[in-house]
Amino acid sequence: MGSCLVVSRHELLEVQKKDIESICKQVSVVPELPNDQNQFKQLIQPYDIIIGTIPLTLQIQVLQSRKTLIVFVMTSLGVASTEDEANKIASQYPFRTVIIPPTKYGEKYRISRYDGLKIIKDIKVIDEWLIQHQT
């Protein structure tokens, strides 16, 4: 157990809060991590564990900073045109679903199910030349 920084733009589900409390003795929540390298390092420095849905580039920086990285595992249950449809889909998994309403006209409701937490031990990037120009 350690001090945790939780990265989430959305209100956490009760089950997520309980899961986090089971592994963290102190919890702080921020909506996002800064892209600036110095601000990023300064923000995460006091924490042992970083938890959230975090872009891959920032996940790599968390691991490079020797912090424990834990991610929310969310499964998409689909989209719905109306709030009633979204609630019907979400009702299959009470207390574990998130409905994200449309932000623009014409968009749909997105429904996701929270499945738990995974610790990220390592991230490997393997590349190969697609096109290489001679020097």
E strands, 85-132, in order: 97-100, 109-120
130 within some domain = no
7 within some domain = yes
Encode pLDDT of 86-129 as tens digits. 999 999 999 999 999 999 998 999 999 999 999 999 999 899 99
Query: What's the pTM?
Result: 0.86
> Can you name the residues that pair with 3 across neighbouring β-strands?
26
Cα 125 to Cα 50, 56, 60, distances in angstroms: 21, 11, 10
115 within some domain = yes
Encode pLDDT of 35-71 as tens digits. 899 999 999 999 999 999 999 999 999 999 999 999 9
8 within some domain = yes
Answer whether 31's CB lies under 8 Å from 73's CB. no
128 within some domain = no
Encode pLDDT of 12-26 as tens digits. 999 999 999 999 999
For 104, the domain range is: 2-120
126 within some domain = no
Quote the number of domains for the chain: 1
Relative to beta strand 109-120, strand 68-80 is antiparallel
94 within some domain = yes
